[in-house]
Amino acid sequence: TLKDLMSRHAAHGRVTWIGVRPAREVPMRELPRVRAQAGRGLEGDRYSGGGKRQVTLLQAEHLPVIAGLAQREAVQPALLRRNLVVAGISVLALKNQRFRIGSALFEGSGPCEPCSKMETALGPGGYNAMRGHGGVCALVIEDGEIAVGDAVVALGVDRLERKQS
């Protein structure tokens, strides 16, 4: 079934980069580890007040694609204003799914579309270079610690299924 296909992954992913931004208009701070707070987001991040965008995830495999589309040699994760960069698992497949990173539990809440700041960060055409590669937003369901190198484990339980039970 489609549900079975959407819950199957070739492997677990892993965290390759972590960043938080303590306030508006300040650069991202790269961290080796961070605490996720249920219903809030990542400790020290300006979005840690709740909402659908508590944590943002970007696909590591998309970094060279974004760089190519923006006519750059490379793109550093901090420029893209996302909290976690993960490799080895499709972040889009985590939308509406529960997943665990480190000891924290998350639920994908929707796409993380690019904003106009990508034109400044990446240059002319930066917004369009990010389209389709912006990653996903997630809610923190259970507190926990996350570190670079931690596994990203999809649990295969979607939001609609939980609402019906």
Whole-angstrom Cα distance, residue 34 to residue 28? Answer: 13
Task: Report the chain's mean pLDDT, rounded to a whole number.
Answer: 90
pLDDT reading at 164 higher than 50: no
Burial of 94 (0-12, 13-18, 19+ CB in 10 A): buried
Q: Regarding predicted confidence, which is higher, 12 or 10?
A: 12
Q: Averaged over 13-23, what is the pLDDT? A: 95
Quote the distance between the C-alpha of residue 90 and its chain's center: 10
- The DSSP-derived string for 45-89 is -TTTT-STTSEEEEEGGGHHHHHHHTT-S---GGGGT-SEEEESS
Q: Which two tokens stand for residue 159?
A: 């939001």
Q: Regarding predicted confidence, which is higher, 25 or 29?
A: 29
pLDDT reading at 4 higher than 70: yes
Confidence of residue 147 (pLDDT cuts 50, 70, 90): very high
Stated as kind and residue range, the H or E segment containing 129 is helix 126-130
Q: Which two tokens stand for residue 65?
A: 């694609």
pLDDT tens track for 79-137:
999 999 999 999 999 988 999 999 999 999 999 999 899 999 999 999 999 999 999 99
**Single pTM value for the model:** 0.89
